[in-house]
Amino acid sequence: MRFGIVVFPGSNCDEDCHHVAKDLLGCEADYIWHHDTDLKGADAVILPGGFAYGDYLRAGALARFSPVMESVAAFAKKGGPVLGICNGFQVLLEAGLLPGAMQINRGLRYVCRDVTMRVENDATPFTSLYSKGSLVTMPIGHMEGNYTAPPETLDLLERDGRVVFRYCDREGRPTDAANPNGAARNIAGICNREGNVVGLMPHPDRCAEALLGNDAGVKMFASAVAAMAAR
Amino acid sequence: MITEEVIREHNLSDEEYARIQEILGREPNLVELGIFSAMWSEHCSYKSSRIHLKKFPTTGPRVIQGPGENAGVVDIGGGLAVAFKMESHNHPSFIEPYQGAATGVGGILRDVFTMGARPMASLNSLRFGRLDAPRMKHLVDGVVRGIAGYGNCIGIPTLGGETTFHKGYDGNILVNVMNVGIVPSDRIFLGRAEGAGNPVVYVGSKTGRDGIHGATMASEEFAADEASQKRPTVQVGDPFTEKLLMEACLELFRTDAVVGIQDMGAAGLTSSSFEMAGRAGSGVEIDLSKVPVRETGMTPYEIMLSESQERMLLVARRDRLDEVLAIFHKWELDAVEIGRVTDSGRVVLFFEGRIVADLPAAPLSDRAPVYDRPRTPLAPGAGPFRWREEPEPPDYAACLKQILASPNVAEKSWIWTQYDHMVQSNTVQRPGGDAAVMRVKGTTKGIAMKSDVNPFFCAFDPYRGGAIAVAEAARSIAATGARPVAITDCLNFGNPEKPEVMAQFEAAVRGIADACRALEVPVVSGNVSLYNETDGRAIPPTPTVGMVGLMEDVGKHVRVAFRRAGDLVAVLGDTRDELGASEFLRTVRGRDEGPCPEVDLDAEKRLVDLLATLAERGIVASMHDVSDGGLAVALAECAMQGGLGATLSLEPGVRMSAFLFGETTGRAVVSFAPEHEAAARALAKEKGVPFAAAGWVGGDRLTISAGSRAVIDEPVATLTELWRTAFARALESADVL
């Protein structure tokens, strides 16, 4: 199993993802510089968090033009698993690999804290080890996580079960108070129609070890390993 | 033409100008005068503080690099070392809070990665005025956003800090930022221009007209209406470029193509070139025409004094220059050979083919003026202490609530949730504990970090206040299970030309030095910020201490929160009849009165040893240092963080308000499983620390009885709600931004 971790100038969670893939799960993991077009034989590609190009324009708006993104799009089209975390999710939206867009958090501030989410789709290659309806806690850390899309797109996502994670309270209710950024319908993560491209705002890479207080996120990486083994 | 007016504009005294003439044997030209002015500014030369700073202990078995370099470095074993430093960005932040604070973060990060270290964690120590003072809400918001904007973008977690509010900072806020990095102990880089013939390379952002004379500005006091006029001397930060610069430098350090490197911080190209040559006893020749500039028509004077951010000066090995340039070009950064190292002992600057400055390198630092400024005797014991005559308050629970809701004690998650405190996935203890704890990947080790000073104590007794800052930092570090290793400091004071301010400075330094000796924690780096005055009013003396501690097994770290119902609670250390300078006096009584609590450094050392040992042996479930707000607040924090109540009964021995809310030093609250009671008690006895069994954890109320009388009995949920929301509410209810 080989993870390819894309590094844009300004990515800053690339090493965190590498640590989970390689040090914790014992997989192969390569960094892929944004100028490269060779994915180095990756079985799964991760677009990590950070501030690609400083996010000075709009999060992900410049990164989508990096040469590596054409290769990522081709890889996704062939069914390869692609995971975008936080800034990586924003890049996937800007690149059109996932529908919708991000706005600045409704509180107009950066927010770093734990959130609770309900697993809405456990059929993707990154969520197969979770069970639908279960609750997971992961940290967020972003300024632009206020997911938005036209109502018909949102309806389509709901209808096709493409909402993967939804912010909720500790009883599993998607309340407004449990929504940290104002995201439409409390959406924390979504996938493409085929289910192989997944994006989410929370950071599974930051909660993969008991020493750090939470290991709920490691299953996202482990799910990909299981999915690859099953192929 | 150097007129008296020009000399005055450069903040140089007549004596200082005479010294310049004597060093040169001639009149300086304007470029040279600008260079002297920057290098001899208080900010760069430490001319008022230097003789006092010599009192600090700066050596120890772990010290690899003491003060004088970009950052201090201490060995943590296993081939690794920690590089760290704290620095102020007070004046720029008061003028333009976002950029002032942001570039403060950028500067301290460069100081750390210049040493070859990867920055791992930032802390900040913030002092604001009253929330309803003019501009204050704007300043709080801007500073927090600035720290967040820079640190979050570059991807270095902001793990902790402290924020206090007092009218003494209404006209002069303090922004002290600290960074801690990790470096292989055999790969430490220094700011030295060695090896005649080696190329001098400029890397990073282009040079603009921003921040010209920032160092000089930081060495003056303000008049109230002046702040807005000073805006052009504040720099603008670009964390994205700094991220590229940091990654490029760290990549470069993995080669051995670099001889020396220094950040262009205060006084930009001037301080970096002169200090690098001065330290190595060499000289440099630089062609200023080759410096990448942001706009046309920049003069040599402007190029030398610009404080544009995200720039470094380095000396490469002669035969490895291409390799160095290639790394920076890969990261799409400017990297230009602008000169070479010589053995002339002089810094010679060229511009468009002619010499524009020719100065001896070492004398600019070595012969910088040093002042033993006059000091008035302090009278720390002097009253009035009217609180001593006041009757006891009727309702202690109401007092507790009032203190928990005060901006100084209330939970500051409004601030730290705006900071990314988790990136790099090393955060073991997030903000809100006694000290931040991070693990060191690839080892079992943990690093604890804490910034601390109680300016209210320092205002009444700067000696004790300085000593207590060190003691309290050590106690907080030990309460996580780590052992203190070393400190950095950031000494914020008023105008040193005033004898009372200089007396405060001298006393605080002596206090820090004595505490460092007693606790065996050397000072390895630091910064002095003077002239923190507006309209002639100085800030309270604020000698901030930034401490780093080490635990060999990070898995044994301990938190503040009570963990299990049924655990026993004990108070360690004695409580004295002290209420002076407490949050209780300020908030409940409305009295800004002393005296500063006493400090017993031997007792502090024993307590620190006890706390660390309790953690190492796995005896305790929770530990918390007793500080702001006193014992009742400390117990409430354990309960609120754990979401568990406690039933506690103690013999006060002193007046009830002092027992509950006095800020006697040298105390901590611990909890442990009943089966560990004998071990905890025996260990406390062995270490010579008073141990008082107080009760047990459980239920959903915090009940504190003194003798047979319940003096506090409140639902933990009520206290928690108040404590968690008070700060945001106080900000919202203050005036418009």
Q: What mean pLDDT do residues A23-43 have?
A: 96
Interface membership of B443 toward A (CB under 8 Å): no
Between A63 and A2, the higher pLDDT residue: A2
CA separation for the pair A7, A29 (Å, rounded): 12
The predicted structure's pLDDT at residue B384? 85
User: Mean pLDDT over all residues of chain B?
Assistant: 94
Q: How confident is the model at residue B380 (pLDDT cuts 50, 70, 90)?
A: confident
* Helical ranges in B282-389 per DSSP H: 300-305, 321-330, 361-366
Please tell me the distance in Å from B231's CA to the nearest CA on chain A.
Answer: 23
Q: How confident is the model at residue B735 (pLDDT cuts 50, 70, 90)?
A: low
Q: Which letter does DSSP use for residue B424 in this model?
A: T
CA separation for the pair B435, B428 (Å, rounded): 11
Express each pLDDT in B446-502 by its tens digit.
999 999 999 999 999 999 999 999 999 999 999 999 999 999 999 999 999 999 999
Interface membership of A35 toward B (CB under 8 Å): no
Express each pLDDT in B31-62 by its tens digit.
999 999 999 999 889 999 999 999 999 999 99
ipTM computed for the complex = 0.97
**Hey, how many other C-beta atoms are within 10 angstroms of the C-beta on A231?**
7
Torsion angle defined by CA atoms of residues B723, B724, B725 and B726, in that order, rounded to the nearest 10 degrees: 30
Structure tokens at B336: 């230009």
**Hey, how many other C-beta atoms are within 10 angstroms of the C-beta on A176?**
9
Q: At what angle do helices B601-616 and B677-687 cross, to 10 degrees?
A: 150
Which of B330, B413, B425 is most worth mutating to test chain A (most A CB atoms within 10 A of its CB)?
B425
Q: What is the percent of chain B with per-residue pLDDT over 90, rounded to a whole number? A: 88
Q: Which letter does DSSP use for residue B673 in this model?
A: -
Among residues B335, B201, B196, B319, the alpha carbon closest in space to that of B257 is found at B319
Identify the helix (H) or strand (E) that includes residue B518: helix B499-519
Between B162 and B382, the higher pLDDT residue: B162
Interface membership of B419 toward A (CB under 8 Å): yes
Decide if A125 contacts A230 (C-beta within 8 A): no
Q: What is the percent of chain B with per-residue pLDDT over 70, rounded to a whole number? A: 96
The predicted structure's pLDDT at residue B212? 75
Interface membership of A208 toward B (CB under 8 Å): yes
Give the residues across from B451 on adjacent strands. Answer: B546
**DSSP-derived pairing of the beta strands B483-492 and B523-529:** parallel
Helices (H) and strands (E) counted in chain B, each on its own, are 25, 28
Express each pLDDT in B242-255 by its tens digit.
999 999 999 999 99
Of B239, B419, B439, the CB nearest to A211: B439
Q: What mean pLDDT do residues B139-150 have?
A: 97
Which of A33-47, B68-82, B261-275, B445-459 is the least confident region?
B261-275
Q: In what order do the strands lie in the sheet with B622-625?
A: B622-625, B668-672, B568-572, B691-697, B646-650, B701-706, B709-715
Are B423 and A206 an interchain contact pair (Cβ–Cβ within 8 Å)? Answer: yes
pLDDT at residue B221 greater than cutoff 70: no
Among residues B546, B453, B543, B454, the alpha carbon closest in space to that of B492 is found at B543
The predicted structure's pLDDT at residue A230? 84
Catalytic residues of A: 86, 203
CA distances for B566 relative to A211, B558, B646, B647, B715, angstroms: 25, 18, 9, 10, 18
Please tell me the distance in Å from A52's CA to the nearest CA on chain B.
Answer: 8
pLDDT at residue A213 greater than cutoff 80: yes
φ, ψ at B126 (rounded to 5°): -115, 135
Give the residues across from B700 on adjacent strands. Answer: none
Interface membership of B640 toward A (CB under 8 Å): no
3-state SS, residue B678: helix
Q: How confident is the model at residue A55 (pLDDT cuts 50, 70, 90)?
A: confident
CA separation for the pair B272, B278 (Å, rounded): 10
Catalytic residues of B: 43, 89
Range of the domain at A44: 2-230
Are B145 and A109 an interchain contact pair (Cβ–Cβ within 8 Å)? Answer: yes
- CA-nearest residue to B425 within chain A is A206
The predicted structure's pLDDT at residue A197? 98
Interface membership of A139 toward B (CB under 8 Å): yes
Q: Which letter does DSSP use for residue A168 in this model?
A: -
Structure tokens at B502: 């200089």
Q: Which letter does DSSP use for residue B576 in this model?
A: P
The sign of the dihedral angle between the CA atoms of B69, B243, A19, B416 is: positive
Q: At what angle do helices B716-733 and B630-642 cross, to 10 degrees?
A: 100
Using a CB-CB distance cutoff of 8 angstroms, which residues of chain A are in contact with residue B428? Answer: 211-213
Decide if A14 contacts B337 (C-beta within 8 A): no
Decide if B444 contacts B554 (C-beta within 8 A): yes
Q: Could you tell me how far CA B30 lies from the centroid of its own chain?
A: 35
Identify the helix (H) or strand (E) that includes residue B145: helix B136-154
Decide if B562 contacts B671 (C-beta within 8 A): yes
Using a CB-CB distance cutoff of 8 angstroms, which residues of chain A are in contact with residue B154? Answer: 12, 51
Express each pLDDT in B582-595 by its tens digit.
999 999 999 999 99
Overall domain count for chain A: 1
Structure tokens at A60: 């992900």
Q: For residue B701, give the amino acid letter.
A: R
pLDDT at residue B606 greater than cutoff 50: yes
Q: Which letter does DSSP use for residue B63 in this model?
A: E
Tell me: cis bond preceding B595? Omega within 30 of 0 counts.
yes
Structure tokens at B612: 């660390």
Decide if B548 contacts B449 (C-beta within 8 A): yes
The b/e string for B346-371 (b: 16+ C-beta within 10 A; e otherwise) is bbbbbbeeeebbbbbbbbbbeebeeb
Are B425 and A51 an interchain contact pair (Cβ–Cβ within 8 Å)? Answer: no
Express each pLDDT in B698-712 by its tens digit.
999 999 998 888 999
Q: For residue B601, give the amino acid letter.
A: L
Q: What mean pLDDT do residues A143-152 have?
A: 98
The predicted structure's pLDDT at residue B218? 56
Please tell me the distance in Å from A1's CA to the nearest CA on chain B.
Answer: 22
Express each pLDDT in A100-130 by its tens digit.
999 999 999 999 999 999 999 999 999 999 9
Of A109, A141, A211, the CB nearest to B423: A141
Express each pLDDT in B336-378 by its tens digit.
999 999 999 999 999 999 999 999 998 888 889 999 999 999 8
pLDDT at residue B231 greater than cutoff 50: no
- CA-nearest residue to B419 within chain A is A112
CA separation for the pair B164, B433 (Å, rounded): 16
The predicted structure's pLDDT at residue B737? 47
Q: What mean pLDDT do residues B215-235 have?
A: 58
Are B153 and A10 an interchain contact pair (Cβ–Cβ within 8 Å)? Answer: yes
Are B423 and A13 an interchain contact pair (Cβ–Cβ within 8 Å)? Answer: yes
φ, ψ at B650 (rounded to 5°): -140, 155
How many interface pairs between A and B have CB atoms less than 8 angstroms apart?
86
Interface membership of B329 toward A (CB under 8 Å): no
CA separation for the pair B42, B46 (Å, rounded): 5
Give the residues across from B177 on adjacent strands. Answer: B87, B124
CATH number at residue A168: 3.40.50.880
Q: Could you tell me how far CA B378 lies from the centroid of its own chain?
A: 26
